[in-house]
């Protein structure tokens, strides 16, 4: 009787084991191989665009209001600084402007916009500067090869300091010309006033902050990015390349400069690259942080854009994108909006040499992998310092050392197996 029970338990355990293997296989097919066949990135659906009312947006932020956010018309100068509460009527936009047809605007590449790009007079835009660094790119100095535009908030002091010591350190390519700028809006209330005083002191110490008088919020990230492009167009039009990224990123600026952009070559024109998002649909889940109302973007698909966690473009596009933005209603999805501007001027983002250079997710760290990528997402300042310094000390033999470590672990495992007594 006991033998039968043991035999039954053994068969039950085997059955459960096989079912768990089958479940794992189904999971892998759904999460890894199936997305490849359907054109989805293998790591996950991009939450900004993975639409159709699916659940990706709601699991990221379930507290997002269902109300449609109000938009701004950047070409309407105003002293109003809270762009989130600026309706078209308050900003002087006509109903016709408010209902512009995006499908028509995407197809438009008129001579009028080209003339405006070439002959238009640049101004600082609808929001005045609170902090500016107009002389960072002086006329009597060589044109900088790369300008870093880093979106940040006033409270992220630790992140800015970590970036100054690591991938944003201008000594990485001082002979080429390498400029670092942090992009900020303003915060409200007593805390905002305190942060502003600290920010002013930080600016006097480092001279790498630009700030305009608009409310610093997620929905105004588009305005923040356009501020950076406007600054380049006004104060550094001769720059070779610009990179826009975020303050929680790991950026291998050495690989970016010397392997991707290659300063020994003539700088490219109308060049834009990053983690390319091609053929994606708007997110129509109303509970999502990345919800796109059909009345704001009626199209079924976005034009190709690059993830806002990190993209690179040639210096000539800063002016072109900014001027085009004056004719296109702002959307709160900054990377999507820049893609719309690119489509409007007839520029298609260039795919990077391989799909693992620009990552909008976090890549598990190894010195070998990080010596051959450009961006990885989701870093605390302490982690950034730790991994950056480890990479610098191992970058010459990064992959050789990784291979030796793996070989050593495999050898130790083999020896342990050999020492096991025979049962």
pLDDT in tens, 81-104: 343 333 333 333 333 333 334 434
What the chain holds in terms of domains, given with CATH numbers, is: 59-353 (3.90.550)
Please tell me what DSSP assigns to residue 350: B
Structure tokens at 407: 């070989």
Average pLDDT taken over every residue of the chain: 77
Query: In the chain, what is the straight-line distance between the N-terminal and C-terminal CA atoms, in Å?
Result: 27
Q: pLDDT-derived band of residue 120, with 50, 70 and 90 as boundaries?
A: low
Helix (H, G, I), strand (E, B) or coil at 43: coil
Percent of the chain at pLDDT above 70? 66
CB 131 within 8 A of CB 211: yes
CB 373 within 8 A of CB 363: yes
Distances (CA, A) of 310 to 173, 261, 287: 19, 15, 26
Percent of the chain at pLDDT above 90? 61
| pLDDT given at position 416 | 53
Q: Judging by DSSP bridges, how do beta strands 272-277 and 209-215 pair with one another?
A: unpaired
Mean pLDDT value of segment 52-56: 34
pLDDT, tens only, 55-81: 333 333 323 332 222 222 233 333 333
pLDDT, tens only, 375-423: 999 999 999 999 999 999 987 787 876 555 555 554 455 445 544 554 4
Query: Which of 252, 217, 272 lies closest to 373, judged by CA?
Result: 252
pLDDT at 275 over 50: yes
Ramachandran area for residue 83 (φ above 0: left; ψ -120 to 50: alpha; else beta): alpha
| pLDDT given at position 129 | 97
Q: Which residue has the higher pLDDT, 25 or 197?
A: 197
pLDDT, tens only, 226-253: 999 999 999 999 999 999 999 999 999 9
From CA 309, how far away is CA 317, in angstroms rounded?
18
Least confident of 108-112, 177-181, 234-238, 303-307: 108-112
Q: Taking the model in full, what pTM does it have?
A: 0.72
Mean pLDDT value of segment 149-175: 96
């Amino acid at each position: 009787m006991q033998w039968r029970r043991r035999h039954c338990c053994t068969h039950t355990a085997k059955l459960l084991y096989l079912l768990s293997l089958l479940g794992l296989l189904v999971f892998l097919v759904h999460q890894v191989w199936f997305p490849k066949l359907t054109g989805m990135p293998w790591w996950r659906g991009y939450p900004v665009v993975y639409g159709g009312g699916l659940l990706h947006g709601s699991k990221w932020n379930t507290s997002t209001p269902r109300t449609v956010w109000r938009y701004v018309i950047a070409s309407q100068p105003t002293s109003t600084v809270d762009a989130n509460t600026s309706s078209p009527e308050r900003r002087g936009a006509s109903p016709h402007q408010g209902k512009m047809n995006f499908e028509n605007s995407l197809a438009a590449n008129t001579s009028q916009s080209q003339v405006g790009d070439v002959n238009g007079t640049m101004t600082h835009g609808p929001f005045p500067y609170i902090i500016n660094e107009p002389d960072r790119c002086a006329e009597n100095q060589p044109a900088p090869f790369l300008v870093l535009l880093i979106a940040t908030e006033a409270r992220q002091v630790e992140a800015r300091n970590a970036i100054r010591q690591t991938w944003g350190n201008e000594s990485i390519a001082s002979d080429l010309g390498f400029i670092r700028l942090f992009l900020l809006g303003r915060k409200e209330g007593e805390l905002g006033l305190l942060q502003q005083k600290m920010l002013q002191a930080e600016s006097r110490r480092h001279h790498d902050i630009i700030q305009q008088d608009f409310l610093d919020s997620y929905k105004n990230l588009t305005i923040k990015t356009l501020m950076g492009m406007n600054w380049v167009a006004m104060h550094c039009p001769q720059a070779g390349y610009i990179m826009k990224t975020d303050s929680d990123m790991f950026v291998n600026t050495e690989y970016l400069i010397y392997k991707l952009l290659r300063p020994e070559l003539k700088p490219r024109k109308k060049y834009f690259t990053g983690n390319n998002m091609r053929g994606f649909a708007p997110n129509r889940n109303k509970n999502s942080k990345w919800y796109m109302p059909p009345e704001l973007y009626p199209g079924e698909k976005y034009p190709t854009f690059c993830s806002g966690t990190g993209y690179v473009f040639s210096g000539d596009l800063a002016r072109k994108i900014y001027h085009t933005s004056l004719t296109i209603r702002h959307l709160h999805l900054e990377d999507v909006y820049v893609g719309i501007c690119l489509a409007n001027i007839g520029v298609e983002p260039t795919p990077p040499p391989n799909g693992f250079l620009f990552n909008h997710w976090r890549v598990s760290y190894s010195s070998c992998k990080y010596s051959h990528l450009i961006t990885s997402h989701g870093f605390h300042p302490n982690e950034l310092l730790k991994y950056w310094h480890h990479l610098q000390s191992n970058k010459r033999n990064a992959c050789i050392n990784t291979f030796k470590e793996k070989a050593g672990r495999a050898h130790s495992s083999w020896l342990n197996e050999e020492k096991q007594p025979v049962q």
